[in-house]
Amino acid sequence: MQQHKLVLATIALLGSAAAHAAQTVDIRYTEQLGGLSQALDLQWNGGDTSTRAGALAFETRGGASFEAFCVELGQYTSTQFRSYSIGQFQGSQASLLQGLFSSSYAAVDSSLERSAFQLAIWELTHETRASSFSVTDNSSRQSFKLDSDSSNYRALRNQANSYLNAATGYSGPSLYSIERLSNASTQDLLRFSAVSAVPEPSSYAMLAAGLGVLGFVARRRRSNSKA
């Protein structure tokens, strides 16, 4: 009995250690995958910064690479390996980010589009007035904005706002798995991956019908062989 309890305790301990290990990941920044080359002036909740916006590439200690976007403002990524905790976005923020990716990410391709997509992520994670979302310079309404309404930023601003409109209006299935990677001293990240497609109910019905036909054919063959 004691030996049995020891085995169970060991299994439980190993399971707990594995679960804990799965909550962190060591990664480092390798390169920018796409985005406008010029720095953008941004304001949010009383703060301001000048930074580039776009998609970033990271790699794990095992050599696996992945694409990510920034979450915070005012912090930078590191080319040295750092340990990040793996978490989830919560509440309406999680729903809006899912809407953003599911509605628009598949068509994001150009440098301008990647920069606009990053701006949309920052808007959804920093805007405190959730009645509407926009990166247009309007300090009386926005707590996050692209700090310029000049014609130079018009295409970028319009594209980001288009993504935000699509995100708030999205009501379809969740097409992406989205995680928040957090580190106290470096930029928090949004890591994502496409989820496997779930068969439609009609597909299940066709599969069941097909299996039924195969079963009927098998029974007929057995019946004929007996005859």
Q: Tokens 């002036």 identify what position?
A: 41
Helix (H) or strand (E) holding 180: strand 176-182
Question: Is 216 a member of any domain?
Answer: no
Alpha-carbon distance of 177 to 195, in angstroms, equals 6
Alpha-carbon distance of 22 to 192, in angstroms, equals 16
Residues found in the chain = 227
Q: Please give the sequence-ordered ranges of beta strands (E in DSSP) within 36-151, or none if there are none.
A: 40-44, 47-51, 54-60, 65-70, 82-87, 144-146
| Phi, psi of 219, deg, nearest 5 | -65, -40
| Number of other CB atoms surrounding residue 54 within 10 Å | 21
Question: Is 136 a member of any domain?
Answer: yes
Question: Is 202 a member of any domain?
Answer: no
Domain count, the chain: 1
The domain of 126 spans 26-194
Question: Is 55 a member of any domain?
Answer: yes
- The whole-angstrom distance between residue 204's C-alpha and the CA centroid of its chain comes to 29
Question: Is 38 a member of any domain?
Answer: yes
Count Cα neighbours of 124 within 13 Å in the Cβ-side half-sphere: 31
Question: Is 171 a member of any domain?
Answer: yes
Question: By the 8 A CB rule, do 191 and 68 touch?
Answer: yes
Q: Tokens 């497609």 identify what position?
A: 197
Alpha-carbon distance of 55 to 179, in angstroms, equals 15
Q: Among 77, 82, 75, which residue's Cα sits nearest to residue 31?
A: 77
pTM of structure: 0.76
Question: Is 74 a member of any domain?
Answer: yes
- Per-residue pLDDT of the chain (227 residues), as tens digits, is 444 443 334 334 334 444 444 599 999 999 999 888 888 888 887 678 888 899 999 999 999 999 999 999 878 889 999 999 999 999 999 999 999 999 999 999 999 999 999 999 999 998 877 777 999 866 555 678 887 667 778 899 999 999 999 999 999 999 999 999 999 999 999 999 999 765 455 544 444 444 454 454 445 555 555 55
Question: Is 153 a member of any domain?
Answer: yes
Question: By the 8 A CB rule, do 181 and 192 touch?
Answer: no
